[in-house]
Amino acid sequence: MTSKLLSVLIVDDEPPIRAELRYLLEQDSRIGEVAEAGNGTEAVEHVLAHRPDVLFLDIQMPGMSGIKLAEALKNLRVPPAVVFVTAFSEHAVDAFELDAVDYILKPVESSRLAKALDRVAIEVSARRVPASEDRPRRLAVERGATRAFIPVSDICYVEARTDYSAVMCPGGEYLVNESISGLERRLAPDGFLRVHRSYLVNVDDIHDIEVVRGGLMELRLDRIDAKVPVSRRRAPEVKARLGIQ
């Protein structure tokens, strides 16, 4: 949990919706400054000028869509966390492919918003860790009612679940209350590679690569009997990292 108040930008082309979301956000003690933008262009200008911690972003807007805006912001060195707020559930896959922290359907309920802010706080807190502390030698995990600290080198891969991440080790499965995107940023210096929107792999554990149906790739791991899929979008990066054509 971050101790610093979260700065927020609400991006939606409908002023009443922005006002309602602002009201709900301001009821939460973790929220600091709340700004608004009515379209993608205004949002980009605000992000570049003020660097908010999180965007609550509508998907269907005139001009630049929320999906296109999120894609553009990923080019920033430290992009803001993104929570999509929309009336349309069919965009969920695209949203999470862009590493969105959460996806909320309108009308927004205060309890659902609080849950999204829990995830945002964890994500932003991980980004605020000083660089010298950003490479963990151990990771805090849970199994049942037991909390433990496991060496990062023990992790074979991480799988995103609905509300958490599952950490797979030779000794079994552990749970982490952190998004896979947050873990990716923290574990990348230790040789972990994002190969799919739902999978983060320890490169040292990759034994070989198999090409399966439709030309898709799967990674077979060394220490545990597991195969991890590679998404088409991430395949070029995986091939480059592993030095294959």
105 with 215, same domain?
no
Domain count, the chain: 2
Instruction: Kindly tell me the burial class for residue 218, based on how many C-beta atoms sit within 10 Å of its own C-beta (0-12, 13-18, 19 or more).
Output: middle
In which residue are the tokens 């599952």 written? Answer: 166
Do residues 235 and 169 share a domain? yes
79 within domain boundaries: yes
> Are 90 and 149 contained in the same domain?
no
Residue 184 lies in a domain: yes
Is the pTM higher than 0.75? The answer reads no
For residue 100, is it within any domain?
yes
Say if residues 202 and 157 touch (Cβ distance below 8 Å). yes
Say how far apart CA 221 and CA 226 lie, in whole Å: 6
In a domain, 1, yes or no: no
Domain closes at, from 97, 128, 159: 128
Task: Mark 87-103 as b/e (b = at least 16 C-beta within 10 Å).
Answer: eeeebeebbbbbbbbbb
Which residues of 87-216 form beta strands (DSSP E)? 102-105, 138-143, 146-151, 157-160, 165-169, 172-176, 192-196, 199-202, 206-211
* Alpha-carbon span 198 to 135, nearest angstrom: 21
Domain final residue, candidates 103, 128, 153? 128
Give the H/E segment covering residue 220: strand 217-221
Do 103 and 55 share a domain, yes or no? yes
Helices then strands, counting H and E runs in the chain, come out as 7, 15
At 147, which CATH number? 2.40.50.1020
Pair 69, 119 in one domain: yes
Together in a domain, 106 and 156: no
Backbone angles phi, psi at 76, to 5 degrees: -70, 150
Alpha-carbon span 51 to 67, nearest angstrom: 19
Asked if the structure places residue 213 within a domain, the reply is: yes
Cα angle at 239 between 238 and 240, to 5 degrees?
90
**Is 133 part of a structural domain of the chain?**
no
Task: With CA atoms as reference, report the closest residue to 69 among 6, 10, 128, 5.
Answer: 10
Q: Write out the chain's pLDDT in tens, 245 residues.
A: 445 899 999 999 999 999 999 999 999 999 999 999 999 889 988 888 888 999 999 998 888 888 888 888 876 767 899 999 988 777 666 666 777 888 899 999 999 999 999 999 988 887 665 544 445 588 889 988 888 899 999 999 999 988 789 999 999 999 998 889 889 988 988 889 999 999 999 988 888 888 887 788 999 998 998 999 999 989 888 887 776 65
83 domain residue, yes or no: yes
Among 77, 101, 128, residue at a domain's last position: 128
Q: Are residues 104 and 54 in the same domain?
A: yes
Range(s) of the domain holding residue 171: 138-242
In a shared domain, residues 61 and 87 = yes
Q: Tell me, what's the pLDDT at 27?
A: 95
What CATH number should be reported for the domain holding residue 91? 3.40.50.2300
> DSSP of 95-124, one letter per residue?
HHHTT-SEEEESSPPHHHHHHHHHHHHHHH
